[in-house]
Amino acid sequence: MLAEAGLLDGRSATTHWWSTDDFARRYPKVKLDAERIFIQDGSVWTSAGISAGIDLALALIEDDLGPAIARRTAQQLVVHQRRPGGQSQFSGLVEFGGRSGRFVELIEWMRDRLAETLTVERLADQAAMSPRNFARAFTAETGTTPAKAVERLRLETARVAVETSNAPLDRIAEDSGFGDAGRMRRAFMRSFGQPPQALRRAAVRR
């Protein structure tokens, strides 16, 4: 409705992954970012769906009333403290192996080997497909490329370890496949907008 009314022209916005192709075609003046679960551009906020709308609402509360009230609201809703807007809405599709679950076994195989080198060729071999066909099918199923899916799994694994353990960041980076803390930090900044140390401190305060 916002896009139809022209209120999103020239603004950054997101929408549910199912509608991104149609949205981009119908509203070319909108700066669509299909990866994000919610986006604020000035006074306009958009989210990628119902559960992402809860994250957006908690972000609005935090923006107006501060993080303490937002945390209390999240507790009343019996939800985890809100996910940052930069989190990818495709992570759920990756987790469940795609729209049809076609790659669920492969995702589990990847998760068990995050510290190893996971090239497209190796993933394709595990899926018994040619690299080209595999890359095309995987992207169609999950909405993201194999390389980005590997990084997403590594990010989620590393984030859990950062927030729930006292393990050194170097060890977490190595165990999750980033290799070193510097590379992991850059990945965290791209996806979460915060370094691992900030997420750890926030988890301790909760």
Q: Tell me: pLDDT of 51 over 80.
A: no
For residues 44-50, average pLDDT? 87
Q: Computed from CA positions of residues 118, 97, 24, 6, in that sequence, does the dihedral angle turn out positive or negative?
A: negative
Domains annotated on the chain, with CATH = 12-76 (no CATH), 90-206 (1.10.10.60)
Mean local confidence (pLDDT), 115-124: 96
- d(C-alpha 202, C-alpha 200), whole Å: 5
**In Å, how far are 31, 180, 206 from 200, measured between CA atoms?**
32, 17, 10
Neighbours of 75 (CB within 10 A): 12
What does the chain come to in residues? 206
Please tell me the pTM assigned to this model.
Answer: 0.59
181 has a pLDDT exceeding 90: yes
Q: Would you say residue 205 has pLDDT above 70?
A: no
pLDDT of residue 101 exceeding 90: no
Q: How many CA atoms lie within 13 A of 193 on its CB side?
A: 8
